[in-house]
Amino acid sequence: MCCESKRRFLLLYATQKGQAKAIAEEIWQQAGAHGLEADMHCMSEMDKYNLETEKDPVVIVISTTGTGDPPDTARKFVKKIQDKSLPPDHFAHLQYGLLGLGDSEYMFFCNGGRTVDRRLQELGAQHFYDTGLADDCVGLELVVDPWIDGLWLALREALQLQKEKEGMNNAVDAVSSSLSTAPHAVHELKLSSELQNLKLEDEGARGSDILSHKVDDINLVAPARDTEPSLVHSVPPVSQSALNIPALPPEYIEVEFQDTQGENPHLSSLISEGTTFEVPVTKAVQLTREDAIKTALLLELDIADTAFEYQPGDAFCVICPNNVSEVEKLLHILGLSEKGDDFVCVKVKQGTKKKGASRPQHIPERSTLKFILTWCLEIRAIPKKAFLRALVECTSDVGEKRRLQELCSRQGASDYTCFIRDSNVCLLDLLRAFPSCKPSLSLLIEHLPKLQARSYSVSSSNLYQPGRLCFVFNVVEFPTGPSRPVSRKGVCTGWLAELVAPLLHPSKSSLGTKGESSSPEKISIFPRPNNAFHLPADPSVPFVMVGPGTGISPFIGFLQHRQKLREQHTDWEFGETWLFFGCRHQDRDYLFKQLQCFLESGTLTHLKVCFSRDSSTAEVAPPKYVQDVLRLCAKEVARVLLKERGYFYVCGDKKHMADDVSDAVVDILSMEMEADKLEAMKILAMLREAKRYLQDVWS
Ligand code: FAD
């Protein structure tokens, strides 16, 4: 899009799951109200912008994926700017502001943004605005909202500076001159808030319900006896505040109901990441005892008749549907129960005000309504504030309307965090709590994100079990709570658990137990690329594996592979192998007791286990966690890593575990090398860089 020269800025986004794009769109939209115009492009559209010649300020919104990689759409860009032959003043002409998105549950928080930021700095580019790093773990909006608020003033100043630089001393254009100083800008922001409040009141007045902030009306929201806020009740000061609420996102989707004739698209058409394979589940084993806190299942897939290939340590993705009864409930609430099997045609609404509006790629042009709700939309997603804002318009009850407004307002930010985000509230929970809210199907398509395939680490070796792929997972449980009257299971793990229920034999507790079945249940999977979490190429190199809980999963694949190699190549030299495993109770959730077999065969040289909740009568309390056991083996770990140039692998489902383990390794290195902590941290960083310290961590 071409914009009037001096009010223009370039807006680039690189998105993996759509969040960076949504934020860029928000910036694009707000820009107009600030007298600016954003020339917005996906970072991958490198033919549409040119940073080498860019004179206007550049705003970059970029997310992070995998273990700290930039999103796929930024790969080409990152490769280009990382060209070592570029001179240090390559981007000296460039002014930019960057907003990185990440999740501090993962290692290398916001690394996608940090990588681009660092490199742009190295190449001489200047910040016109401080970098923002938003954390999905606590709520992106905590950083995103204030970052966007501050962006406008910074942009105007950058544009002003640019004009001055170009020697244009005559009066700047109306917008930048009137808004180029802080007091003006603050005034303007305040003004726009007031306008927003006015607009809200107008809207209320236009409808049948008059929205007011008077205390009398608060009773509609919070009965006098309710002194505590909840999802549906507010208390002062929120309940009495004038609200700054986000602008109403423009509608852009149109849904046309057709007949019931035809076939739904194949699931593979929903995936852009590569080929999908539909494979039978041949075995299911419950690895935990019934009284364990979590239920861990191992599934075996038959991949013999497919071209699916993997190495131990790889992860792959499972395409999963939403829960059938939740889809039914949603259809009921939408008033479309009778139309579930009707084909719908999804199009962009004519004359929409949304910039660059296009049909979301995850929604087929034509499919049944049930197909869309089952396979395409993440109906469990935590509703974003923009969605809440749009839901306000579909809510007739005045009290409910006000509460939804509060939840998406700046004043209600902590209520949003507490009652929506931290409570893992989904659309169905909201619709149950706000019964007069009746959204349209098109609104759901506009606001619900793509139903993502879930990743799992392979827990087998293709050498050891040709034609088979195993994986292990904990069934995620969401207990009931004030905002959720019914407990739920994770979308994918709940579905898989239900799917394989007939295959599960009661009281299975180890891999060796038979669970074979001729069940024809099939699931669709596809490979997950870009993984360095593999066995050392040289089998004589020793390695340490740390995998508490289901984190042990890829190491079973490593050990199976190693066992087979030892049988096949009796003349090869094999390095020693260490495995550190931990769980709560030895007799309830020790997932793979047959590790003993690997130990007996010599494939596993050292097995160190610990149980965090078992009581002990020993005089000296045994170590509880893997990092405690690691410390007890400090000398050996240091020897493997430093003297023998070995590898260190960490896998598990908690960020804290990975941090605790790396802290232990720093302590070990510092102690054994008699070096200070900083020196030990540098060594660990070098090991990471050399890909000899590898992590596969998920939340
Ligand atoms: P969802 O419905 O997506 O719910 C999970 C979400 O809910 C998470 O965001 C979590 O933070 C949150 N949550 C979980 N429990 C609660 C609770 N009680 N209350 C509130 N919120 C909660 N998982 C494995 O089990 N085994 C593996 O081998 C494995 N390997 C992975 C490899 C990679 C590379 C990655 C990225 C992830 C891996 N995972 C693995 C995680 C897996 O992809 C899924 O995230 C997990 O199985 C949950 O999926 P779900 O659809 O069942 O849960």
Find out if CATH 3.30.930.10 is the number for domain 543-697.
Answer: no
Report residue 82 as tokens: 């990382």
Whether the predicted pLDDT of 116 surpasses 50: yes
When pLDDT is cut at 50, 70 and 90, the band that residue 621 belongs to is confident
When pLDDT is cut at 50, 70 and 90, the band that residue 190 belongs to is very low
Find out if CATH 3.40.50.360 is the number for domain 7-165.
Answer: yes
Q: Which amino acid is at 693?
A: Y
- Print burial letters for 50-77: b (CB count within 10 Å at least 16), e (below 16): ebeebebbbbbbbbbbbbbbbbbbbeeb
- In angstroms, rounded to a whole number, what is the distance separating the alpha carbons of residues 336 and 537? 56
Query: Which is the closest atom of ligand 1 to the Cα of 479?
Result: 18
What is the per-residue pLDDT for 614?
Answer: 67
476 CA from centroid of ligand 1 (Å) = 7
> Residue ranges per domain, the chain?
7-165, 543-697
Q: Best-predicted range by mean pLDDT among 186-195, 225-234, 585-594, 626-635?
A: 626-635
Contact 469, 458 (CB under 8 A): yes
Q: Best-predicted range by mean pLDDT among 1-5, 61-65, 622-626?
A: 61-65
Candidate of 69, 428, 429, 473 to mutate for ligand 1, largest count of ligand atoms within 8 Å of Cβ: 473
pLDDT, tens digit, 9 for 90 and up, residues 562-620: 999 999 999 999 999 999 998 787 777 776 777 889 999 999 999 988 887 767 777 77
- In angstroms, rounded to a whole number, what is the distance separating the alpha carbons of residues 116 and 73? 13
Q: Is the dihedral of CA 77, 81, 85, 86 positive or negative?
A: positive
Tokens 């909006």 sit at which residue?
141
Fold: same for 7-165 and 543-697 = yes
Q: Whose CA is nearest to atom 1 of ligand 1?
A: 490
What is the per-residue pLDDT for 274?
Answer: 78
pLDDT, tens digit, 9 for 90 and up, residues 584-596: 877 777 767 778 8
The 10 Å Cβ neighbour count of residue 86 is 16
Q: Whose CA is nearest to atom 10 of ligand 1?
A: 699
What is the per-residue pLDDT for 505?
Answer: 61
- Identify which of 12, 14, 22, 11 has the alpha carbon closest to the alpha carbon of residue 449: 22
Min mean pLDDT across 204-208, 284-288, 537-541 is at 204-208
When pLDDT is cut at 50, 70 and 90, the band that residue 226 belongs to is low
Whether the predicted pLDDT of 174 surpasses 80: no
* Average pLDDT value for residue range 302-306: 95
Whether the predicted pLDDT of 462 surpasses 50: yes
Candidate of 17, 556, 698, 699 to mutate for ligand 1, largest count of ligand atoms within 8 Å of Cβ: 698
How far CA 453 is from CA of 202, 369, 528, in Å, comes to 43, 20, 10
457's CB contacts (< 8 A; 6+ apart) are 313, 314, 315, 471, 472, 553, 554, 557, 651, 696
What is the per-residue pLDDT for 530?
Answer: 67
What is the per-residue pLDDT for 476?
Answer: 93
Tokens 């009284």 sit at which residue?
291
The residue ranking higher by pLDDT, 691 or 508, is: 691
When pLDDT is cut at 50, 70 and 90, the band that residue 529 belongs to is confident
690's CB contacts (< 8 A; 6+ apart) are none
* Average pLDDT value for residue range 214-234: 57
What is the per-residue pLDDT for 450?
Answer: 92
What is the per-residue pLDDT for 249?
Answer: 86
Tokens 């509880």 sit at which residue?
624
> Mean of the per-residue pLDDT values for the chain?
85
Give me the percent of the chain exceeding a pLDDT of 90: 60
What is the per-residue pLDDT for 446?
Answer: 93
475 CA from centroid of ligand 1 (Å) = 9
Whether the predicted pLDDT of 679 surpasses 70: yes
Whether the predicted pLDDT of 202 surpasses 80: no
Q: Which residues line ligand 1 (CB under 6 A)?
A: 315, 380, 424, 454-457, 471-474, 476-479, 490-494, 550, 553, 698-699
